[in-house]
Amino acid sequence: MSEHPILVTGASGKSGRRVVCHLRDRGLPVRAASRNGEHVFDWRDRRTWDAALEGVRSVYIVQLDGTKLVRPFVERAVRHGVRRIVLASGRGIDDPHYAKDSGGVLTGIRDSEAAVRESGLEWTISRPGWFAQNFSEGFFADAVRAGELRLPAGDGAASFVDAEDIAAVVVAALTDGRHAGETYEVSGPRAVTMAEAVATISEATGRAIRYVPLSVEAYVAELVRQGWAPADARAFADVIEPLREGRDAYVSDGVWRALGRPPRTFAEFAKSTAAQGGWPS
């Protein structure tokens, strides 16, 4: 399949851009697609879908949360002659008690997985847990740089996974048919509390960073004072609930099964990110 470009949607995101880099490091042709990237692709603008899929045989799908757009996209991919799909999904979707789903995120993800499995194509599903990169590029990054992370996460722990491991699993699935039909739950090698995570980053950066656990009510109130709409603040607090309850503390074997090696530790992530200037003062 190497003569055809590999389509990577969400190519500017945490996993997508790493998948693009890994594929290009192998000398493989890549169509890096995103709303404002090399190749314009917008989930909400179906006019962009055909150009993205033209001549493609393998696709990495990073879905748009809260939508059911993967199913019609996969149907169109079939018509374009796509043969292999790797879907970015998420842990917890089999647990009805995992999180409040007022935005329909889990419902959409379940539909996406079903669409891929029913497509008749070679498929692989990646179910990563909480990204370690949330501390350097995502939800928690600004607070970590400011030296104080305030969250309603209590002493809950998560087996944070390095996005480099996620990308490596995805690339393996995109380029090797032996991964067809597999669902890989991807995590780090052990659970880490927020206090432990912040302490690890402090050690790696040589900077004082502290974690301040808040009640949900206090956290929502802080976000509202910062200008958030109350409903949005409550919805974001709900995102933290699985972390607070330790629902992502379990360790998965996806990296071992897909790559035959252990996943990177949180300390390895922190050390590498600090060395690359990931937390500038």
**Which pLDDT value is given to residue 1?**
43
Amino acid at 49: W
Query: What are the pLDDT digits (tens) for 17-54?
Result: 999 999 999 999 999 999 988 899 999 999 999 999 99
Report the chain's mean pLDDT, rounded to a whole number: 94
pLDDT at 11 over 90: yes
Query: What are the pLDDT digits (tens) for 109-146?
Result: 999 999 999 999 999 999 999 999 999 998 899 999 99
For 116, phi and psi rounded to 5 degrees?
-65, -45
